[in-house]
A and B are shown apart, each in its own frame.
Chain A
Amino acid sequence: MSPSPSTGVELHSIAFTLNGDHRTLNIPPWVTLLDLLRDELDLTGTKKGCDHGQCGACTVLRDGKRINACLTLAVMCDGAELTTVEGLATGDELHPMQRAFIKHDAFQCGYCTPGQICSAVGLAREGRANNRDDIKELMSGNLCRCGAYTNIIAAVEEALPHSGGELGQGGAQS
């Protein structure tokens, strides 16, 4: 399970809940949550678009709050409850936000999509988006180069009221 090669670097032991599963890992201190997810845990649903916190493609939920995984060192997540796009559905049953994205064709290439969806689920839990303009403003950290913004906002607007519930009940729980 140790993600580090034999580099002679002191590894740090961390434990967190990831998509409902309890995980214990030994990792170098400089590994970002994003690289840990993608390169070590093969959870590539979380995307790397800029690695600088400028595009939002890596948005995940930590203790229910949306964060940029690229700006988060993995060691900062000790004890946290993490949800990635892979953990939103319950078995084959999609999360309401995922269903709304398909219905409204709220993507094209799909690369920003996991970040948009996690961001929107995080937004729903914040409870501060009261109208379409709020949603636009509060989703502006998630870039979509395909320009599917109109459809994304339509999807988020529709699913927002149904997306503020408990997290970490995803399909990975089993």
Chain B
Amino acid sequence: MNTFNAAVGQPLDRVDGVAKVTGKARYAGEYPEDGLLFGSVVSSTIAKGRVLDIDTREALNVPGVVLILDHRNRPRLSSYDDDYSDADSAEGSAFRPLYNDRVLYSGQPLALVVAQTLEMARYAGSLLRIRYEEEPHQTDLDAALDHAHKAPAETPKPRGDFARHFADSATQVDVTYTTPVEHHNPMEPHASTVLYKPDGSLEIHDKTQGTQNCQDYLHKIFDLPKDKIRILAAFVGGAFGSGLRPQYQLPLAVMAALALKRSVRVTLTRQQMFTFGYRPRTSQRLRLGADANGRLMAIGHDAIGQTSRFEDFTEHLVEWSGMLYRCNNVALNYQLVPLDVYTPLDMRAPGAASGVIALEGALDELACAAGIDPLQLRRVNFADSNGNEGKPYSSKALLACYDQGAERFGWSHRNPVPRSMRQGRELIGWGVAGGVWEAMQMKASAKARIDAAGKLTVSSATTDIGTGTYTVMTQIAADAAGVMPQDVTFILGDSSLPTAPLQGGSFTVSSVGSAVRQACLILRTQVLEALRRLHPEVADVPVEQIGFGDGFVHAGDQRFAIAEVVAHCEGGALEVQVDAEPSTKRSGFATATHSAVFVEVRVDEDLGTIKVSRVVSAVAAGRVINPKTAQNQLMGGVVWGLGMALQEDTLSDHTLGRFMNHSLAEYHIPVHADIGDIDAFFVEEEDDIVNDLGSKGVGEIGIVGVAAAVSNAVFHATGKRVRDFPVTLDKLLQ
């Protein structure tokens, strides 16, 4: 049997790398057209009330202004709630842009000024005179905890008897962690360029994680035929969840294009990137009880998150506490408090990033209380099945993460006593935490076409938000079809391509990758059939002596160029489209990725400044398609975790009901100088159940557990436990 060069598993350079380093990669707001108009959004300055009047006279006199849209003169919109729902909707009535005079939150878009230049549109927007009737608002979760209601989420039912076993436990902790509002802040602001075609159809370059989601949404709210709407997203400048739902710049730009029958671009400002979804503030009470050996006897996780008045946003906040460790007495509760704010939105590892902060922080506190090494405590409580579902994990190489992570970090040299490790004025702390994320698979479709030159073109409507989709799909397709990666072109980011789910939840490789693989495997069988027609003698070659690779069909001692076989096919090409379903093998199993994160912090004893000098993140995520791009995902997740631990915090002025630090100067994210050594790596994990690729997805797992590991390290360094995130020096010095 021949062996071929496998593309999967190789650290291939990104196939879109040249486009990205030369500036040729075009993002949503960068498509030119002669006569393109620019829209500038005018936002509400009150948090709740009614618009009495918008005086547009002065603004309309600005040279170059062609239209000012508001709720009084916008094109017709659907009046049905269902039409505003989308593939990532929360329960309730989705926000309707420019629908009526109601103001539901501060920053709500109230008008769109359209002009010949961006500068004129923006200036004219500043001249709008908006009169409001203000109503009292509440934006403060902490002040409204009494108004919590049960979240409409399928939280796992309680198991065992939490109350009794918690009361009886030898060691108990009962602690409350709070996490702040955070904003996605992808570097590319949300933008839509709506190109109005002569036949009235719309070609739209949008910043989105779901081209077909946006197409559906516009189809429904504007009652436009789907075939008149094409959504394109060849490059997406980061999203992290912000593009999971259609954001308001899209319908606003479409309104202007429809009203004017002209092409229009709307790009949000950085300040306006704080006027839609965000990671919600949470308050989480963790109660853990353990026996003398550290075995968890009881886990109680009661979480409260914020939501809007119009939708109940839920995320998987508490589930992790019932599935990461073995425990028979578990009670998980999740409540929501509606506020006069916009609806929260899935943000990288939604629910897990914040929920695991509380779980892994409380676990560290339990380790201290019980006098057990925190890593050992986690080992003792290892679970090989998901207690929430009563199903075994398809694979869970978490113990290997503990072992290899500890080895690389040097965990065995840790002095368990807080404040025991120092260097000069710096207190040194070592902390550990675990991480977990679901390994999901969705339905997805893909098309594969190979031509007489041996060039393979594979397509799906998915996106590449920086995760490396173009590249990993190229690798998967190359191996499945038996061609070289350089002969593969993967096309994505187009609603007219085969159906793909939203790009989120770390399930793109699992879902779209499986569809790509299946399409290419079928293509391979078609090539073989064609070869047998061309060379009947090949039919006699036993199937185990047939192989595909490097652009050839290998049959026994002979080999045939795939390109030549295809050249003899009708039309000089072969084409296959498949609709892939989640693997049936999954049904009896729980599937998840796991991690162990080790962190070293250095805290200035006098000033309280915290520096993360080292992070080791050991991850079990099944088979890695591209080690280079996958490791980059993990490291990016770690950086997000560092931001979550120490910096990110969208602060409100509750008197005004408004986010105050809505800029990249005041909403702090990590910069180069904040980043110490990050050693993020994968442990071996084989899994033939999760999907045919054995690959679990890596977009989320990198962030989960990092913030808790940092905070646990800060406690180890200082002896001070900060449970209100982010952990900033003022809280440390209090």
B-facing residues in A17-73 (Cβ within 8 Å): 28, 30-31, 35, 38-39, 42-52, 54-55, 57
- Verify B119–A28 contact, CB threshold 8 A: yes
- Verify B670–A149 contact, CB threshold 8 A: yes
- Verify B22–A94 contact, CB threshold 8 A: yes
Among B255-263, B291-299, B464-472, the one that faces the other chain is: B464-472
Q: Which of B17, B188, B269, B636 contacts A148 (CB 8 A)?
A: B636
Nearest CB in chain B: distance from A137 CB, A: 5
With a CB–CB cut-off of 8 A, which chain B residues contact A151?
632, 635
**Interface mask (B83-127 → A, CB under 8 Å = 1, otherwise 0):** 000000000000000000000000000000000111110000000
Q: How far is the CA of A151 from the CA of B468 in the complex (A)?
A: 15
Q: Does B395 contact A (CB under 8 A)?
A: no
Nearest CB in chain B: distance from A92 CB, A: 9
- Verify A146–B466 contact, CB threshold 8 A: yes
- Verify A147–B638 contact, CB threshold 8 A: yes
Given A50-B664, A113-B20, check contact A148 B25 (CB 8 Å): no
Q: How far is the CA of A84 from the CA of B23 in the complex (A)?
A: 9
Q: How far is the CA of A57 from the CA of B189 in the complex (A)?
A: 11
B671: nearest chain-A partner, CB-CB: A140
The contact size tier of chain B is 35 or more
Q: Does B673 contact A (CB under 8 A)?
A: yes
A-facing residues in B237-269 (Cβ within 8 Å): 237-240, 267, 269
Nearest CB in chain B: distance from A34 CB, A: 11
With a CB–CB cut-off of 8 A, which chain B residues contact A135?
672
A53: nearest chain-B partner, CB-CB: B665
- Verify B187–A49 contact, CB threshold 8 A: yes
- Verify A102–B23 contact, CB threshold 8 A: no
- Verify B675–A149 contact, CB threshold 8 A: yes
Q: How far is the CA of A43 from the CA of B13 in the complex (A)?
A: 25
A88: nearest chain-B partner, CB-CB: B22
- Verify A110–B16 contact, CB threshold 8 A: yes
Q: What's the A-B contact tally at a CB cutoff of 8 Å?
A: 185
With a CB–CB cut-off of 8 A, which chain B residues contact A108?
238, 466-468, 629, 632-633, 636
B-facing residues in A134-164 (Cβ within 8 Å): 135-137, 139-153
Q: Does A75 contact B (CB under 8 A)?
A: no
B638: nearest chain-A partner, CB-CB: A147
Given A54-B663, A103-B13, A140-B673, check contact A110 B119 (CB 8 Å): no
Name the residue in B24, B188, B665 with the highest tally of chain A Cβ atoms < 10 Å from its Cβ: B188
- Verify B187–A8 contact, CB threshold 8 A: no
With a CB–CB cut-off of 8 A, which chain B residues contact A57?
187
With a CB–CB cut-off of 8 A, which chain B residues contact A98?
21-22
Q: Which of A30, A114, A150 contacts B675 (CB 8 A)?
A: A150
With a CB–CB cut-off of 8 A, which chain A residues contact B309?
none
Nearest CB in chain B: distance from A94 CB, A: 7
With a CB–CB cut-off of 8 A, which chain B residues contact A117?
21
- Verify B117–A107 contact, CB threshold 8 A: no
With a CB–CB cut-off of 8 A, which chain A residues contact B22?
45, 85-86, 88-89, 94, 98
**Interface mask (B181-219 → A, CB under 8 Å = 1, otherwise 0):** 000011111000000000000000000000000000000
Nearest CB in chain A: distance from B242 CB, A: 10
Q: How far is the CA of A5 from the CA of B63 in the complex (A)?
A: 9
- Verify B466–A109 contact, CB threshold 8 A: yes
With a CB–CB cut-off of 8 A, which chain B residues contact A142?
672
Q: Tell me what chain B mostly uses at the interface: helix, strand, loop, or mixed.
A: loop
Given A48-B189, A103-B13, check contact A110 B673 (CB 8 Å): no
Q: Does B71 contact A (CB under 8 A)?
A: no
With a CB–CB cut-off of 8 A, which chain B residues contact A43?
23
Q: Does A1 contact B (CB under 8 A)?
A: no
Q: How far is the CA of A111 from the CA of B364 in the complex (A)?
A: 38
Q: Does A126 contact B (CB under 8 A)?
A: no
- Verify A110–B466 contact, CB threshold 8 A: yes
Nearest CB in chain A: distance from B18 CB, A: 7
The contact size tier of chain A is 35 or more
- Verify A5–B117 contact, CB threshold 8 A: yes
- Verify A42–B664 contact, CB threshold 8 A: no
Q: Does A4 contact B (CB under 8 A)?
A: yes
Q: Does A112 contact B (CB under 8 A)?
A: yes
Q: Does B416 contact A (CB under 8 A)?
A: no
Q: Which of A51, A143, A146 contacts B269 (CB 8 A)?
A: A51
- Verify A7–B21 contact, CB threshold 8 A: no
B-facing residues in A91-139 (Cβ within 8 Å): 94, 98, 101-103, 105, 107-114, 117, 135-137, 139
Q: Does B53 contact A (CB under 8 A)?
A: no
- Verify A140–B270 contact, CB threshold 8 A: no
With a CB–CB cut-off of 8 A, which chain B residues contact A42?
32
Q: Which of B13, B24, B32, B664 contacts A52 (CB 8 A)?
A: B664
Nearest CB in chain A: distance from B514 CB, A: 23
Q: Which of A5, A28, A52 contacts B663 (CB 8 A)?
A: A52
Q: How far is the CA of A128 from the CA of B236 in the complex (A)?
A: 34
With a CB–CB cut-off of 8 A, which chain B residues contact A144?
187
With a CB–CB cut-off of 8 A, which chain A residues contact B188?
47, 49, 109, 111
- Verify B23–A105 contact, CB threshold 8 A: no
Q: How far is the CA of A1 from the CA of B558 in the complex (A)?
A: 62
18 A–B contacts, CB within 8 A, in A order: A4-B117, A5-B64, A5-B117, A6-B63, A38-B30, A39-B117, A47-B27, A85-B21, A105-B13, A105-B17, A107-B20, A108-B238, A110-B16, A111-B186, A111-B188, A145-B186, A146-B466, A150-B675
- Contacts A84-B23, A111-B238 given; 14 further ones with Cβ under 8 A? A39-B118, A44-B27, A48-B189, A49-B664, A51-B270, A52-B270, A105-B17, A107-B14, A109-B465, A110-B25, A112-B187, A137-B672, A145-B186, A151-B635
* Residues of B bordering A, CB below 8 Å: 13-14, 16-27, 30, 32, 38, 63-64, 116-120, 185-189, 235-240, 267, 269-270, 465-468, 628-629, 632-633, 635-640, 663-665, 669-673, 675, 678
